[in-house]
Structures are given as structure tokens and as C-alpha cells.
Amino acid sequence: MTTMRVASDLAAVMVPIGYAGAALAAIFAIVAAVAIIRGAGGLAGGAVGLWIVGALMSVAASFGQDWTPLILACGSLVAMLIVGAIVRAIVNAAGDGRVDRAAEDVLPKAVPASKAPTAPTSKPALSKTGPATASVAIVR
């Protein structure tokens, strides 16, 4: 086999791998954008990490002088990071009525009626010194 024939055969295999890698990279870029919008930093990091794998796969198409998959993979990540950041900023600015996690600890917690503290059932006894002085024992 000649060198041109081997290169042609390899290009026939590598170019579809590059397009598959670009498709995976685009999917992971969309997942990263959704994670940024939701504020899930771990998921965004994982999605970008998997995007790197797809982008490396898209480099395989460059063996056949086809740079389109790599450009699409990189463009999809850039576009989705920008879209995610803009939508996240809009959601934060809107303040859609959500309470911050730190503020949840400050708010009083609801207690079911079965576990609520009860008042003493007996009436306080008046002392013999007069009606103005009464003593009540509070037991907790």
C-alpha cells in the first residue's frame, strides 16, 4: 500500500470519529450550561471535563484535514458558557422568591402540634400574703 492509500483509509475512519466527538462535546456543553443556570458547580465541572473528552475526539477529524468538528466543539462550549452565565445572572437578578440556604437556618422551624410544648394544666396557687404575689413553677 502506498502512503496516500493508508492516509485515505485512516481519514475514512478518523473523520466520523471526529464528528461523533463534536456531537458529544456539544451535548456536554449544553449540560454545562444547564448546570451553571441551576448553580450546580460540581455538575458543571463534570460536564466540562467530559466536554474535553469529546473535544479531543473531534481533533481526530483533523487527520483528514477536516477542522469543522473541532471548531463546532469549541464554539458550542463557548456559546453555552455565555448563555448559562447570562441566564444565571437574569435568574439571580429576578430574585424569584427563593430563600437562600443560609437564611433557612435563621427562619423558625414549624413544629407539629403533637411535639409542641404544653402549658401547665394546674392553676397557680396564691400565697397567703396577698393576691398580688403569686408564684408559678415552670417546668421544661
Q: What is the mean pLDDT of residues 55-74?
A: 92
pLDDT at 102: 61
Domain segments of the chain: what residues?
A: 3-96
Residue that wins the pLDDT comparison between 139 and 16: 16
User: What is the chain's mean pLDDT, rounded?
Assistant: 83
Write down the number of H helices and E strands in the chain: 4, 0
pLDDT at 140: 61
Each residue's pLDDT tens digit, 34-46: 999 999 989 999 9
pLDDT band at 30 (very low <50, low <70, confident <90, very high): very high
pLDDT band at 17 (very low <50, low <70, confident <90, very high): very high
Residue that wins the pLDDT comparison between 14 and 124: 14
All residues at 6 or more sequence positions from 58 whose CB lies less than 8 Å from its CB, including other chains: 18, 19, 21, 22, 25, 69, 70, 72, 73
pLDDT at 45: 93
**Residue in 77, 44, 42 with CA at minimum distance from that of residue 58:** 77
pLDDT at 4: 86
Each residue's pLDDT tens digit, 70-123: 999 999 999 999 999 999 999 998 876 565 666 556 666 777 777 767 766 666
Length of the chain counted residue by residue: 140
